[in-house]
Amino acid sequence: MRAEDTEKLKCLNFFRGVKENTFRRAIAPSFLQSFPAGTILLEENRPADFLYIVLDGLVEMSSSAAGDETVIEILGPVNLFILAAVLNNDICLQSARTLTPARILMIPANLIRELLSEDHDFMKAVVFELASAYRRTIKELKNQKLRSGTERLANWLLREERGQGGEGRLTIPYEKRILAAYLGMTAENLSRGFSALSAHGVQIKGLQVDIVDIGKLSDYARSSPLIDDGEPPLPRN
């Protein structure tokens, strides 16, 4: 594992403040693998054998029922997934697939459960990670239930624009149908949403989006810290 990968991992809430021996024990038997785009990493309703951490690339978390499928979350570096299933030694409630080439660290699930009983600081970090995940879920529920599809799209564009440099331009990093599913929209509604946002300073061509009037789009989006702000990192000991 590269030195920069180790530093990325130590900045995760999941590992902040844990004993060096705990960190080394977690990493030593783990698998760091590179996957091409479109790789199925895990399927819902299957046992959680590993905890997954995204070091590079994008991963789609999805679920299906009665022939319908939706995108629950899209994760980039550095994020982990299926922690609750690992801790409960239970089945996965989501499937995971790489959207881009990705490097993923896979930590054996039984090792995570073993380390919890040995390092109080690790248990504290895990509890904080679960609490942060719960708050992110509540914020996403509020986003879905209190906003129209076009408002969700507007706020996604503002977040993505900031994440890609804040210069009024962004590239949608995956297919539009995936973005539509993630935002809880159909492909047709997404297209109509972009058309509606043209009156608020948004221009789109293919996957390239230009926001010619950030202020106008922000006024329409009405971003809220109770929905749109990220969760703070765990304080260091």
**pLDDT at site 1:** 80
CB 62 within 8 A of CB 82: no
Question: Per the structure block, which two tokens stand in for 20?
Answer: 């060096």
Question: Per the structure block, which two tokens stand in for 60?
Answer: 């789609």
CB 207 within 8 A of CB 172: yes
Q: CB 112: neighbour CB atoms within 10 A?
A: 19
**Domains of the chain, earliest start first:** 3-144 (2.60.120.10), 148-228 (1.10.10.10)
**pLDDT at site 233:** 76
Q: How many CA atoms lie within 13 A of 100 on its CB side?
A: 15
Residue whose C-alpha is closest to residue 154's, from 138, 143, 139: 143
**pLDDT at site 237:** 56
Q: Tell me phi and psi for residue 154, to 5 degrees.
A: -60, -45
Q: Which residue has the tokens 């089945």?
A: 91
Q: Which residues of the chain have pLDDT under 70?
A: 234-237
Question: Per the structure block, which two tokens stand in for 160?
Answer: 């993505």
pLDDT per residue over 13-31, tens digit each?
999 889 999 999 999 999 9
Residue whose C-alpha is closest to residue 170's, from 217, 208, 221, 212: 208
The 3-state DSSP class for residue 91 equals strand
